Amino acid sequence: MGDAVRQELVSRQLDEQIVARYPVGQRLRILDVGMGRGVQALRLARAGHAITGLEGDAESLRLAQEALSTEPAGIRERVRMIEGDGRDTGVHFTPGSFDVVLCHGVLMASAEPEGVLAGLARMLAPGGLLSLVVRNADALAMGPGLAGDWERTLAALEPDAAGYTDRRGVPLRADRLEHLTATLAGIAAPLHAWYGVQVFSEWSTTGQDGAPPEPLERLLAAEDRAGRRDPYRRVAALLHLCGVRG
């Protein structure tokens, strides 16, 4: 259920930013970098937008193409999928080609996040929206702390802690709000709004060990409210940052 909750929360937040910036009904040019299986790409195509998906993992790209193939022809013609990653934008596209650029979960595996973000910002038209989802480095102690793993908790509380291991055992990076705020300002796409994603559900044990899960709508309502306000959003598992190209 975690992925469904995450996708729904990010969708709501992204739609809120799009509606606030563009006239209703405008067909936007959207680039989804690291689109995975195409959840956001297909959702936005169904809403009438022109989507370009960039994905470096061949299996994820295959699954996204397979999902696209089941859509009506009118939606399929709005979507273009390319094999590549966030470092390849300058190879495939000219600067200013997109109204919206999505970069969801990409920086977690990036060794050069500033370079990737600078390249993505160049793809935006003036006034364009950059939607960025990252792991929250300031909340790395929450999971092990609530699980009672004090060794990992103390390690995550070190001032320079900026990495974690996912459920597959893969080491990944995390980012801090203050650092990304400075980075976005430096690439001429300053932070416009930000949200916490999975304030509660990432850490909760509800639904495990045979306990019944909370109704999804109530969970989403709580997550949606908490993700918009301090202090809750600052301990969310993920951060959703929205920058606007100057």
pTM reported for the whole predicted model: 0.93
Window from 95-104, 158-167, 215-224 with minimum mean pLDDT: 158-167
- At residue 210, the pLDDT reads 47
Tell me the mean pLDDT in the region 177-183: 97
Average pLDDT, the chain: 93
pLDDT above 50 (res 198):
yes
Tokens 């969310």 locate to 236
pLDDT digit string, tens, across residues 184-195: 999 999 999 999
181 pLDDT exceeds 60? yes
User: Is residue 194 within 8 Å of 182, Cβ to Cβ?
Assistant: no
At residue 104, does pLDDT exceed 80? Answer: yes
Q: Which of 210 and 157 is assigned the larger pLDDT?
A: 157
- CA atoms of 93 and 123, how far apart (whole Å): 7
164, β-bridge pairs? 172
